[in-house]
Amino acid sequence: MFDIVSFIPRAIMQGIPLLFGCTGETISEKSGSLNLGIPGVMYVGGICGVIGAFLYEQSAGGNVNGFLAVLIPLLACLIGSLLMGLLFSLLTITLRVNQNVVGLAMTTFGVGVGNFFGGSLIKLTGSDVPSIALSATSKYFSKGLPFGGSGAFSKMFLSYGFLAYVAVIIAFVTAYILKRTRVGLQLRAVGENPATADAAGINITKYKYLATCIGCMVAGLGGLYYVMDYASGVWSNDAFGDRGWLAIALVIFTLWRPNIAVFASFLFGGLYILYLFIPTGGDMAVKELYKMLPYLVTIIVLIFTGMRNKRENQPPESLGLPYFREDR
Partner 1 sequence: MGSNTPAVSMRNITKTFGTIVANDDVSLDIYKGEILSLLGENGSGKTTLMNMLSGIYFPDSGQISINGQPVTIASPREAFDHGIGMIHQHFKLVDVFTAAENIVLGLKEEGRLDLTRAGERIRKICDTYGFDVDPKQKIYNMSVSQKQTVEIVKVLYRGADILILDEPTAVLTPQETDKLFAVLRNMKKDGKTVVIITHKLHEVEAISDRVVVLRKGRYIGEMKTSETNAQEMTNMMVGREVALNIDRPAPVDPRPRIRVENLTVRSSDNVLKLDDVTFTAKAGEILGIAGISGCGQKELLEAIAGLQPVQSGSIRYINDDGTEENLVGKDPLKIADMGVSLSFVPEDRLGMGLVGSMDLTDNMMLRSFRSGKGIFTDRKTPRKLAEKVVEELEVNTPGVSTPVRRLSGGNVQKVLVGREIAASPTVLLSAYAVRGLDINSSYTIYELLNQQKKEGVAVVYVGEDLDVLLELCDRILVLCSGRVSGIVDGASADKNQVGMMMTRLGGGASDE
- Going by the DSSP 8-state scheme, the letter that residue 316 receives in this structure is P
Least distance between partner 1 and beta carbon 322 (Å): 15
Q: Which is nearer to partner 1, 61 or 311 (CB)?
A: 311
Choose between 42 and 187: whose C-beta lies nearer to partner 1.
187
Per DSSP (E only), the strands in the chain are 132-133, 234-235
Element holding 234 (H helix, E strand): strand 234-235
Least separation in angstroms between residue 207's CB and partner 1 is: 11
Between 176 and 263, whose beta carbon lies closer to partner 1?
176
Q: Which residues bind partner 1 (CB under 8 A)?
A: 180-182, 185-186, 188-189, 192-193, 195-202, 309, 311-312, 314, 317, 325-326, 328
CA 264 to chain centre: 13
DSSP for 53-92 reads: HHHHHHHHTT---HHHHHHHHHHHHHHHHHHHHHHHHIII
Say if residue 309 is exposed, middle or buried (CB neighbours under 10 Å; 0-12, 13-18, 19+).
exposed
φ, ψ (nearest 5 deg) of residue 31: -95, 5
Query: CB-wise, 201 or 282, nearer to partner 1?
Result: 201
Quote the least distance from Cβ 103 to partner 1, whole Å: 22
DSSP helix/strand/coil, 129? coil
CB of 184 to partner 1, least distance (A): 8
Minimum Å gap between C-beta 152 and partner 1 is: 41
CB 131 within 8 A of CB 236: yes
Q: Between residues 95 and 183, which has the closer beta carbon with respect to partner 1?
A: 183
- Min dist CB 256 to partner 1, Å, is 11
Phi, psi of 133, deg, nearest 5: -110, 125
Instruction: Identify which of residues 147 and 182 has a Cβ nearer to partner 1 in the complex.
Output: 182
Dihedral in degrees, nearest 10, Cα atoms 301, 37, 243, 69: -140
Cα–Cα distance for residue pair 56/61, rounded to 1 Å? 8
